[in-house]
Amino acid sequence: MLRRTALAGALLIGVSIWQAPSAGAGYLTRPPLKDITHRYVGSAVTPAHLAERDYRAVLTREFDSVTPENEMKWGTLEATRGQYDWSGADELVRYAKQTRKTIRGHTLVWHSQLPSWVNDLPADELRSVLRQHITTVVSRFRGKVRAWDVVNEAFNEDGTRRDTVFQQKLGDGYIADAFRWARQADPSAKLYINDYNIEGVNPKSTATYELVRSLRQQGVPIDGVGIQAHLSLEYGFPSGYRDNLKRFGALRLDIAITEADVRMPLPADTAKLTTQAQYFKELWDGCHAARRCVEFTTWGFTDRHSWVPDVFPGEGDACLFDANMRPKPAYWAINS
């Protein structure tokens, strides 16, 4: 959100004692991203990285929202049934409170990073356990989490429902149930469905559109659609991006860019970095052209800690800052 006041407690968080690398000359003369827009500007965060002074300083300076990269996922919170580990999530909540940032909770219902014991439950017990999980997690952070990714990655690329344990045993209705349970646990949090490859107009985004339209008609408390925006130079920029945002906005739903990054084949070069900057700018500008787009969050902000190389061998350099915390052309493209 638009804020131009000095950040309280700068000495405590390390901003005032950290200086941008020489290659980033001029960086600290520009306002941070969070101060040039009325949208929330966020990044995914792993709390352990907050111990790195330069990481913490850039995160604190640039962003007003944080998303836990793994710390609020079911597999992290309750790997063993009935034994919750809140340590990572609580650390991020403390950091957000200290630095006056909002939190995007991620994620309540997802087929991946799921405790192994969940897969073996019979349908009736699974429904009860899922409700308990949502209620427990959302209630713990009631009033502390601005928005939740309630259901994550529910569709296949062709627009059919993903064959998850929830779909198999609970049927189509599990999505509506999840939103209702989350709303009961925290009436003030914004509730989203979230997915990847729904940036442009395609079968997957159309299936998501039809689902959320149906949920709204049924009175299900869904507030928005999260568009992940994991892009790759190899596949080009998504066709129909702005039209897609427009149609979701016409449903009177909020829209959030939730996990933006733009990966490239390595090594990087000037041409690739220029194209990456163009993609980031189009994502950013498209969000700002859509009245209902309320958030622009990246999946990490520095190549030092990006998830991309581990998942896409031979690709990387997907973030706004390089591994030495220097702003890249993509950063300057949206902060110009």
How far out from the chain centre does Cα 132 lie?
24
The domains of the chain are located at 11-334
Question: Tell me, what's the pLDDT at 25?
Answer: 55
- The yes-or-no answer on residue 315 being catalytic is no
| Bridge partners of residue 327, in order along the sequence | 321
Question: Tell me, what's the pLDDT at 26?
Answer: 75
Q: pTM for this structure? A: 0.93
Nearest 10 degrees: Cα torsion 244, 230, 261, 274 = -70
Are 167 and 161 in contact by the 8 Å Cβ rule? The answer is yes
Q: Please write the tens of the pLDDT for every residue from 149-201.
A: 999 999 999 999 999 999 999 999 999 999 999 999 999 999 999 999 999 99
Residues of the chain with pLDDT under 50: 1-18, 22-23
Set 62, 71, 78, 153: catalytic member? 153
Are 133 and 81 in contact by the 8 Å Cβ rule? The answer is no
Question: Tell me, what's the pLDDT at 3?
Answer: 38
Q: Beta strand 224-227 with 190-195: parallel, antiparallel or unpaired?
A: parallel
Are 231 and 238 in contact by the 8 Å Cβ rule? The answer is yes
Question: Tell me, what's the pLDDT at 28?
Answer: 85
Question: Tell me, what's the pLDDT at 189?
Answer: 99
Amino acid at 150: V
Q: 11-334 has which CATH code? A: 3.20.20.80
Question: What is the spatial distance between Cα 4 and Cα 27, in angstroms, rounded to a whole number?
Answer: 16
Concatenating the DSSP letter of every residue in 224-292 gives: EEEE--EEEGGG-SPTTHHHHHHHHHHTT-EEEEEEEEEEEESSP-HHHHHHHHHHHHHHHHHHHHSTT
- The yes-or-no answer on residue 210 being catalytic is no
Interaxial angle between packed helices 203-217 and 174-185, expressed in degrees from 0 to 180 and rounded to the nearest 10: 60
Question: What is the spatial distance between Cα 154 and Cα 196, in angstroms, rounded to a whole number?
Answer: 10
Set 62, 69, 71, 259: catalytic member? 259
